[in-house]
C-alpha cells in the first residue's frame, strides 16, 4: 500500500505545482482554447484559456510511477510484488501516453488553425484504433511466466466469466472497442470546468482500490493461495493499483487549477489519454462490464449524444436542447457549478454501486 500512496502523493505534488508552469508555457505559446460558435454563448468568455493541460498530469503520472517503484523495492513483501516494470505498465501507460498524443495533435491543430476543428473525427478514430490494436495485441499475446496475460480471452464483469471465452482475436477487438469507447466517453464529458477531471478522479481512485484488493487476494501470491482457494486471476494487480493511484493523484492536483473558473483546460490531450487509461484499467483488472456502472456518468453523457443523433436523423427533432447532456442543462438555465457538482454526484453514485457489487461478490464467495 505504501508504494501506491507514494505514487499518488508524488503525482499530486508534481501536478499541483507544475500546472501553473504549464499555464505560463501554454500562454507564452499562445495555446489558447478556441470555442465553438455553435456552443453555449456563455462559453465565449473562456476563449483563450490555455489548453493541452493533460500533458501535465500525464507526465506527473509517469514520474509518480517511477517513484512508486522506488518505494516498492524497500517493501518486505517485494518478493511477491511487481518490483520491476511489467508489460501491464507498458500497456496502461502506453494507452495513457499515446491516446494523449492523439489528443495533443488535435489540440495543436485547433490552436494553430485558431478554430475548434482540429483533427478530423476519422483521424481521431484511426489513431485510437491503431493504438488500441497495438496495445491490445500486447495485452493478449504476451503472457507472463505464470501464463497470465494483461487482458483476458473471456468477457469479465467483476472477474472473468469463464463460460464466455471468445478467443484472442475477438478479445483484441473487444479491447480496442473498450479503449475507444472510454476514450471518447471522457472526451464528450469534458466541456465544463472540472467536470471530466473530477469524475475521472473517482473512477481512477476506485480502480486503485479494486486493484489493491485484488493484490491482497491474488492468485500470484503463493503464500496467500496456500490457505485460500479464492483469489483473483489478474496479471499484475499492484501495478494496476499503482498506476491508477498515480493518475488519480495527478488529476486531483490538476483539478485545483481546472475547477471553475478554470485557469487551464485538459484539452483532448487529457480527455483522450484519461479515457484510454480507464479503458485499459477495466481490461487489465478483469472488470470490463463493471466499467459501465463505475463510469456511469461517461455512459450517460455518451448515450445523450447517440440519442440526439439518432433522433435528429430519423425524425428531424432533437431530444435535448444541445448535446452532450451537460450543455442541455446549461441552456435550461442551470449554472455551470451546479451542473458540475450534480454530475459529480451522479458519478459518485455509479462508483459506490460498482464498488458495492465488487465487494459484495467477494463476501458472497467467502460466505
Under a CB-based contact definition with an 8 Å cutoff, are residues 19 and 264 in contact?
Answer: yes
- pLDDT band for position 48 (cuts 50, 70, 90): confident
- pLDDT band for position 1 (cuts 50, 70, 90): confident
Longest dimension (CA), the chain: 64
Under a CB-based contact definition with an 8 Å cutoff, are residues 268 and 120 in contact?
Answer: no
How many beta carbons lie within 10 A of that of residue 316, not counting itself?
Answer: 7
Over 60: is that where the pLDDT of 347 sits?
A: yes
CA angle 47–50–55, rounded 5-degree value: 145
Kindly report, residue by residue over 313-339, the tens digit of the pLDDT: 999 899 999 989 999 999 999 999 999
Q: Rounded distance, CA 184 to CA 202, Å?
A: 18
| pLDDT for the residue 41 | 57
- pLDDT band for position 131 (cuts 50, 70, 90): very high
Kindly report, residue by residue over 74-110, the tens digit of the pLDDT: 665 544 445 678 899 999 999 999 999 999 999 998 8
Give the DSSP letter of residue 218: B
Kindly report, residue by residue over 160-183, the tens digit of the pLDDT: 998 999 999 999 999 999 999 999
| pLDDT for the residue 118 | 76
Locus of grid cell 462490464: 289
Locus of grid cell 430519423: 314
| pLDDT for the residue 79 | 46
Under a CB-based contact definition with an 8 Å cutoff, are residues 258 and 51 in contact?
Answer: no
Under a CB-based contact definition with an 8 Å cutoff, are residues 241 and 217 in contact?
Answer: no
pTM score of the predicted model: 0.94
Kindly report, residue by residue over 2-29, the tens digit of the pLDDT: 889 999 999 999 999 999 999 999 988 8
pLDDT above 70 covers a percentage of the chain that reads 92
Among 235, 297, 91, 238, which residue's Cα sits nearest to residue 176? Answer: 91
Which of 245-254, 257-266, 327-336 reaches the highest mean pLDDT?
Answer: 245-254
Among 38, 345, 57, 324, which residue's Cα sits nearest to residue 185? Answer: 324
C-alpha distances in Å from residue 42, one per residue of 36, 162, 178, 331, 333 = 11, 51, 33, 10, 11
| pLDDT for the residue 80 | 47
Collapsing DSSP states into helix, strand and coil, what is residue 255? helix
Under a CB-based contact definition with an 8 Å cutoff, are residues 260 and 326 in contact?
Answer: no
Q: Rounded distance, CA 104 to CA 52, Å?
A: 7
Over 70: is that where the pLDDT of 194 sits?
A: yes
Amino acid at each position: 500500500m505504501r508504494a501506491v500512496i507514494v505514487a499518488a502523493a508524488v503525482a499530486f505534488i508534481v501536478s499541483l505545482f507544475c500546472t501553473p508552469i504549464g499555464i505560463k508555457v501554454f500562454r507564452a505559446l499562445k495555446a489558447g482554447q478556441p470555442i465553438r460558435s455553435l456552443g453555449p454563448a456563455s462559453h465565449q468568455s473562456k476563449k483563450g484559456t490555455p489548453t493541452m493541460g493533460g500533458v501535465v498530469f500525464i507526465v506527473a503520472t509517469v514520474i509518480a510511477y517511477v517513484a512508486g517503484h522506488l518505494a516498492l523495492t524497500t517493501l518486505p513483501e517485494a518478493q511477491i510484488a511487481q518490483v520491476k516494470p511489467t508489460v501491464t505498465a507498458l500497456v496502461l501507460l502506453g494507452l495513457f501516453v499515446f491516446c494523449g498524443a492523439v489528443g495533443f495533435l488535435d489540440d495543436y491543430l485547433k490552436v494553430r488553425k485558431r478554430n475548434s476543428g482540429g483533427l478530423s473525427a476519422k483521424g481521431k478514430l484511426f489513431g485510437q484504433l491503431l493504438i488500441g490494436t497495438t496495445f491490445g495485441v500486447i495485452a493478449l499475446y504476451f503472457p507472463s511466466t505464470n501464463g497470465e496475460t494483461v487482458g483476458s480471452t473471456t468477457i469479465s464483469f467483476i472477474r472473468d466469466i469463464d463460460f464466455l471465452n471468445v478467443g484472442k482475436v475477438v478479445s483484441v477487438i473487444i479491447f480496442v472497442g473498450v479503449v475507444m469507447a472510454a476514450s471518447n466517453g471522457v472526451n464528450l464529458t469534458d466541456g465544463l470546468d472540472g467536470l471530466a477531471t473530477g469524475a475521472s478522479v473517482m473512477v481512477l481512485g476506485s480502480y486503485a482500490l479494486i486493484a489493491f484488493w485484488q493484490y491482497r487476494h491474488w492468485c500470484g501470491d503463493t503464500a496467500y493461495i496456500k490457505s485460500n482457494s479464492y483469489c483473483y486471476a489478474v496479471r499484475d494487480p499492484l501495478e494496476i493499483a499503482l498506476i491508477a493511484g498515480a493518475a488519480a493523484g495527478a488529476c486531483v492536483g490538476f483539478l485545483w487549477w481546472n475547477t471553475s473558473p478554470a485557469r487551464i483546460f485538459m484539452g483532448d490531450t487529457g480527455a483522450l489519454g484519461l479515457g484510454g487509461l480507464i479503458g485499459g484499467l477495466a481490461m487489465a483488472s478483469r472488470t470490463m462490464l463493471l466499467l459501465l456502472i463505475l463510469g456511469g456518468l461517461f455512459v450517460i453523457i455518451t448515450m445523450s449524444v447517440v440519442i440526439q443523433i439518432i433522433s435528429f436523423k430519423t425524425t428531424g427533432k432533437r431530444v435535448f436542447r444541445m448535446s452532450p447532456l451537460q450543455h442541455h442543462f446549461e441552456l435550461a438555465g442551470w449554472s455551470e457549478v451546479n451542473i458540475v457538482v450534480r454530475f459529480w454526484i451522479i458519478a459518485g453514485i455509479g462508483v459506490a454501486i460498482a464498488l458495492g457489487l465488487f465487494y459484495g461478490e467477494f463476501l458472497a464467495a467467502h460466505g
